[in-house]
Amino acid sequence: MKMKRGPSIRYLLLIANAFIVLLPIGAVVFLRLWDTHLVRVTEEQLISRSVLLAAAWREQRGFGVDASAKVPENIEPILAEGYEILPAAEAGVPEPFDEVEVQAARDPLITDLLVEEQRSNATQARILDARGCVITSNETDIGSCFSSAPEVRKALTGAYAAAARRYRSDVADSADGARPHGSVRVFSAMPILANGDVVGVVYLARISSSPLEAVWTLRHALALALALCVLLMAAVTFFLSRAISRPVLTITNAAEAIAHGESPSSFDVDGLVPAEVEALSRSLQRMTAQLTERSRYIRDFTANVSHELKTPLAGMRGAIELLREQSDEMSEAERRRFLDNIDADVGRTERLVTRLLQLARIQSSTEAPERVELKPFFEHLAERYDGRVHVDLSASPATIDVNPDHLETAVHNLVDNAVRHGGEQPVDISVSKRDGKLVVRVRDHGKGISERNRARVFDRFFTTERDRGGTGLGLAIVRAVAETRGGSVSFETGDEGTTFTLVV
């Protein structure tokens, strides 16, 4: 299966770290939103209870149901949009009450409603007069005034108001002292209206449930959510470990196999792979291919060198043995012939070793380019052949960055080859530039390359002039120079001659 390029490891780690950081932040934000929601729910409940108590109080005061207004219309919770936790409200100095108000405060219906609020849902319920003082309550604070509280002052103007205050732990919320486990008390101040005037205020207070209390209430749902979070974290962990460790393990196993001498295996991994691991896989694949090719090259090169050196060495050994055993019986001419054969074999071996060193140096060393002036370079080359070489520089660039030794070796080998096979005809050289590379064409006017030899022209040690000292390495060196530069070498041949094209 072909590998799919995945995100970078740095992005995978960023995702993991972001998950680790955002999870507690998300939990804090969630708890804050939940706490705000609980305050809103508490305020909504207080609003509904305030409307009921205001209606009952109006009835007891004799305003009736036909008054123009009872409480403000379209009341919405105001603490849900954000609130500031205020200090606990302090009651002011009690003030005297009107006798009518005192009698209304003692009405059994109102008293029962207020006591029920305390007993059923731990709500502090007070009804204030138009001055903001308590005229009836389910606490022991009748006569206390709360006109200094901002929410009460606003309610006395005819508008609904609410506030969140810090809970005072020394105050019990029910007759038995039981209360919800919360630290914020929600206060609502609902004005009681009659014919457009504020005749009183329903002032309620209840502790909002804390998030921990709500967590315990919804523990089953939260346990399910926690299990889903754990599964999500496990899935993210599994994905990251699989995306990173699995391809690395595959690459490691392939490298271990190669280290133990097994045949090179592929470093390709399937599935979604991080970008760095994919790059590593491809680099190792290229490196393995190059090392395999280099190993095969060294093996073939060694076999070729051994074969090429074996012939002259065998000739020299045979001539030396004959001279050692029969030199006294040989004539001067025979001894000279054997010595000449030895000298020729030594010369061939020396040329072969020199060419092999050239080839090895070109293939193993870096190019180290220099700025080369092409006109003097090719003019000097033509002078070495005493008019046998014609050079056309009309389309040539002025300079090129190249290793001068490599360029000289390659061009010299092409020209030598053309001179040897071109008979008495001159060799034509044309120089031009294409796609930023130097193009050198060397044409001879010989008989061309035979059909059976064309496929072997660039093979190492292939030559048709072995008896004239040919090593078969000249064109192999030309190809090595071209490949080192990322170029190419090719030829066209026919009955009218052969043209080699070198691109470097």
CATH assignment of the domain containing 26: 3.30.450.20
At 171 the pLDDT is: 46
> What mean pLDDT comes out for the span 317-323?
79
* 193, pLDDT greater than 90: no
Q: Compare 345 and 373 and report the one with higher pLDDT.
A: 373
Tell me the backbone φ, ψ of residue 140, rounded to 5 degrees: -110, 35
- The answer for residues whose C-beta is within 8 angstroms of residue 244's C-beta and 6 or more apart is 9, 12, 274, 277
Same domain, yes or no, for 198 and 224? no
Q: Compare 264 and 85 and report the one with higher pLDDT.
A: 85
At 10 the pLDDT is: 63
> What mean pLDDT comes out for the span 434-447?
88
Same domain, yes or no, for 199 and 286? no
Tell me the backbone φ, ψ of residue 39, rounded to 5 degrees: -65, -40
Which of 364, 379, 404 delimits the end of a domain?
364
Percent of the chain surpassing pLDDT 70: 69
* 175, pLDDT greater than 50: no
Which of 364, 388, 413 delimits the end of a domain?
364
User: Per the domain annotation, does 384 fall within a domain?
Assistant: yes
At 204 the pLDDT is: 92
* 199, pLDDT greater than 80: yes
> Considering the chain, what is the average pLDDT of its residues?
75
In whole angstroms, give the CA distance from residue 496 to residue 422: 10
Q: What is the DSSP letter of 103?
A: H
* 243, pLDDT greater than 80: no
At 92 the pLDDT is: 60
Q: Which domain holds residue 77?
A: 15-209
Instruction: Enter the pTM of the model.
Output: 0.43
Same domain, yes or no, for 82 and 192? yes
- The answer for residues whose C-beta is within 8 angstroms of residue 301's C-beta and 6 or more apart is 460
**β-bridge mates for residue 497, sequence order:** 494
Q: Name the helix (H) or strand (E) containing 392.
A: strand 389-392
Q: Compare 11 and 326 and report the one with higher pLDDT.
A: 326
In angstroms, the Cα distances linking 471 to 348, 408, 449, 456 are: 8, 18, 17, 14
Same domain, yes or no, for 140 and 235? no
Closest CA to 202 of 41, 94, 51, 79: 51
At 441 the pLDDT is: 92
Q: Compare 407 and 249 and report the one with higher pLDDT.
A: 407
In angstroms, the Cα distances linking 339 to 315, 317, 321, 349, 466 are: 11, 12, 12, 15, 19
User: Per the domain annotation, does 286 fall within a domain?
Assistant: yes
* 189, pLDDT greater than 90: yes
* 235, pLDDT greater than 90: no
At 300 the pLDDT is: 64
Count helices and strands (H / E) in the chain.
Answer: 11, 15
At 203 the pLDDT is: 92
Q: Compare 472 and 340 and report the one with higher pLDDT.
A: 340
User: Per the domain annotation, does 8 fall within a domain?
Assistant: no
* 145, pLDDT greater than 80: yes
Confidence band for 239, pLDDT divided at 50, 70 and 90: confident
Same domain, yes or no, for 88 and 200? yes
> What would the pLDDT profile of 56-100 be if each residue is shown by its tens digit?
888 777 775 554 556 677 787 878 666 677 776 666 655 666 555
> What mean pLDDT comes out for the span 448-459?
80
* 178, pLDDT greater than 50: no
User: Per the domain annotation, does 102 fall within a domain?
Assistant: yes
Lowest mean pLDDT of 122-126, 212-216, 254-258, name the range.
212-216
Q: Compare 234 and 496 and report the one with higher pLDDT.
A: 496
Which of 364, 381, 400 delimits the end of a domain?
364
Q: What is the DSSP letter of 80?
A: G
In angstroms, the Cα distances linking 468 to 172, 422, 465 are: 120, 16, 5
**β-bridge mates for residue 198, sequence order:** 193
Same domain, yes or no, for 49 and 154? yes
Rg of the Cα trace of the chain? 52
Q: For the chain, what is the domain count?
A: 4
Same domain, yes or no, for 80 and 129? yes
User: Per the domain annotation, does 494 fall within a domain?
Assistant: yes
User: Per the domain annotation, does 7 fall within a domain?
Assistant: no
- Return the CATH number at 483: 3.30.565.10
At 95 the pLDDT is: 60
Same domain, yes or no, for 80 and 28? yes
- Return the CATH number at 286: 1.10.287.130
Same domain, yes or no, for 177 and 30? yes
In whole angstroms, give the CA distance from residue 62 to residue 64: 5
Same domain, yes or no, for 78 and 162? yes
Confidence band for 271, pLDDT divided at 50, 70 and 90: low
Tokens of 151: 């929410």
User: Per the domain annotation, does 502 fall within a domain?
Assistant: yes
Same domain, yes or no, for 375 and 359? no
Q: Compare 10 and 281 and report the one with higher pLDDT.
A: 281
> What would the pLDDT profile of 5-47 be if each residue is shown by its tens digit?
556 556 666 776 676 667 777 766 666 676 777 788 888 888 8
Same domain, yes or no, for 440 and 474? yes
Q: Compare 178 and 25 and report the one with higher pLDDT.
A: 25
> What would the pLDDT profile of 156-174 be if each residue is shown by its tens digit?
998 999 998 877 554 444 4
At 303 the pLDDT is: 67
User: Per the domain annotation, does 1 fall within a domain?
Assistant: no
Characterize the bridge pairing of strands 271-273 and 161-166.
unpaired
